């Protein structure tokens, strides 16, 4: 039996928990509406006005003039996410995180210890509520596709159980958009076939599906019948870790761009270390005022999570970018990742790398204790990076 646990409006719920005066108000976590801010999360009160994540903050303000903006605190959310996962591990070691606020759990072998799937889901939700003051929704089903589908059907604070003997009955009334992989263009094709529900999808002939959807036809055929054989994979290694920011005003000078990229690099490196992973491929992204976007990448000799090594790569990449006009966005990411435990052996033969990583560890501890600005680069102070007005909330991704 598979569980999908999904925190309810996670970032916004944390902010409301930490500041009870926000309870009942339309709260959004994200950047300022005065610039190019973007919403990272919206409380359910804000969602009633049509406000959702990834929406421009200025649009959110137009939809709800009384909306309350709260600045994003990614480090804080990451710490709480770790506490949530510790609760998961009390019940099973088979935990596959998808993001800070959701995960799959395989509880098939836990019945004698804790009860059946629905019972374990209730125990987990109760523990999150009583210990952390937050609510989570859960889906309980025979596989990952159905469990994730179920967890989203009764939010917030919901529990939906899929009967293994009535999977088609559960799927039948759901709109076709609920099928994983159905995007805007695919949806148009389904509508041309007059298919609007999963039950109608299941009624399509295989030849017809292959004609319209090609290699994806088998995928849709299986999901419409609730078939999914993917296992829960614990300790999933991410494919990339990245961070980017959009400026309130276009930047023309190279030095402020360099300062911003180095600041983003510090954040990415810290997240790599927190998740005990290293990366070999370093990439930067630059979006100009005309929305033209370019990327540059380089491969390191060895996977790294060292701030200094990643900064050196970023400076090399920036030197290859010609600043033709104003820049509205910069981003930095690391991919081709591997677990840090697989790389420990290399440290013993590289004294300089070992020294750098011990220094990084000391800096991380100081920032954890005294805040992100406890240690700052001279360039960050010079260009007032941490206090620059109206930067878009950092778009922080682990994928």
Catalytic residue positions, numbered: 102
Token representation of residue 125: 């939700």
Contacts of 31 (CB under 8 A, 6+ apart): 37, 38, 39, 57, 72, 246, 390, 391, 392, 393
- Convert 148-202 into a string of H (helix), E (strand) and C (coil): HHHHCCCCCCCEEECCCCCHHHHHCCCEHHHCCCCCHHHHHHHHHCCCCEHHHHH
Geometric angle at alpha carbon 150, from 144 and 154, rounded to 5°? 155
Distance CA 6, CA 156 (A): 9
Distance CA 175, CA 166 (A): 17
Helix (H, G, I), strand (E, B) or coil at 16: helix
Phi, psi dihedrals of residue 184, rounded to the nearest 5° = -60, -45
Length of the chain: 399
Geometric angle at alpha carbon 124, from 122 and 129, rounded to 5°? 95
Contacts of 341 (CB under 8 A, 6+ apart): 276
Contacts 24+ apart (CB under 8 A), 383-386: 383/255, 383/256, 383/259, 383/260, 385/259, 385/260, 385/263, 386/263
């Amino acid at each position: 039996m598979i569980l999908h646990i999904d925190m309810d409006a996670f970032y916004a719920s944390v902010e409301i928990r930490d500041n009870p005066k926000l309870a009942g108000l339309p709260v959004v976590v994200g950047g300022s509406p005065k610039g190019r801010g973007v919403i990272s999360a919206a409380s359910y009160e804000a969602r009633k006005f049509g406000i959702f994540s990834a929406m421009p903050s200025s649009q959110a303000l137009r939809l709800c003039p009384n909306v309350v903006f709260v600045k994003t605190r990614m480090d804080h959310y990451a710490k709480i996410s770790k506490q949530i996962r510790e609760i998961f591990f009390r019940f099973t070691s088979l935990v596959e995180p998808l993001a800070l606020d959701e995960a799959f759990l395989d509880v098939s072998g836990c019945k004698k210890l804790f009860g059946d799937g629905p019972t374990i889901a209730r125990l987990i939700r109760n523990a999150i509520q009583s210990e952390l003051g937050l609510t989570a929704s859960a889906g309980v089903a025979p596989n990952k596709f159905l469990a994730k589908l179920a967890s989203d059907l009764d939010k917030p604070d919901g529990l939906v159980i899929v009967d293994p003997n009535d999977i088609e009955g559960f799927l039948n009334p759901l709109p076709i958009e609920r099928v994983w992989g159905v995007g805007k263009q695919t949806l148009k094709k389904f509508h041309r076939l007059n298919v609007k529900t999963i039950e109608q999808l299941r009624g399509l002939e295989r030849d017809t599906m292959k004609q319209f959807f090609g290699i994806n036809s088998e995928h849709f055929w299986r999901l419409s019948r609730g078939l999914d054989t993917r296992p829960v994979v614990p300790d999933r290694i991410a494919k990339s870790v990245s961070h980017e920011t959009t400026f309130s005003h276009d930047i023309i000078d190279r030095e402020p761009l360099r300062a911003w990229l180095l600041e983003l690099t510090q954040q990415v490196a810290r997240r790599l270390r927190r998740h005990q992973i290293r990366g070999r491929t370093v990439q930067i992204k630059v979006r100009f005022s005309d929305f033209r976007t370019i990327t540059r990448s380089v491969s390191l000799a060895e996977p790294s999570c060292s701030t200094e090594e990643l900064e050196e790569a970023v400076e090399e990449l920036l030197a290859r970018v010609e600043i033709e006009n104003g820049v509205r966005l910069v981003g930095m990411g690391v991919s081709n990742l591997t677990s840090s435990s697989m790389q420990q052996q290399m440290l013993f033969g590289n004294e300089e790398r070992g020294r750098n990583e011990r220094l990084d560890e000391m800096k991380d501890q100081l920032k954890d204790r005294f805040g992100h600005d406890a240690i700052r680069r001279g360039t960050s102070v010079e260009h007032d990076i941490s206090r620059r007005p109206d930067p878009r909330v950092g778009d922080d991704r682990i994928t």
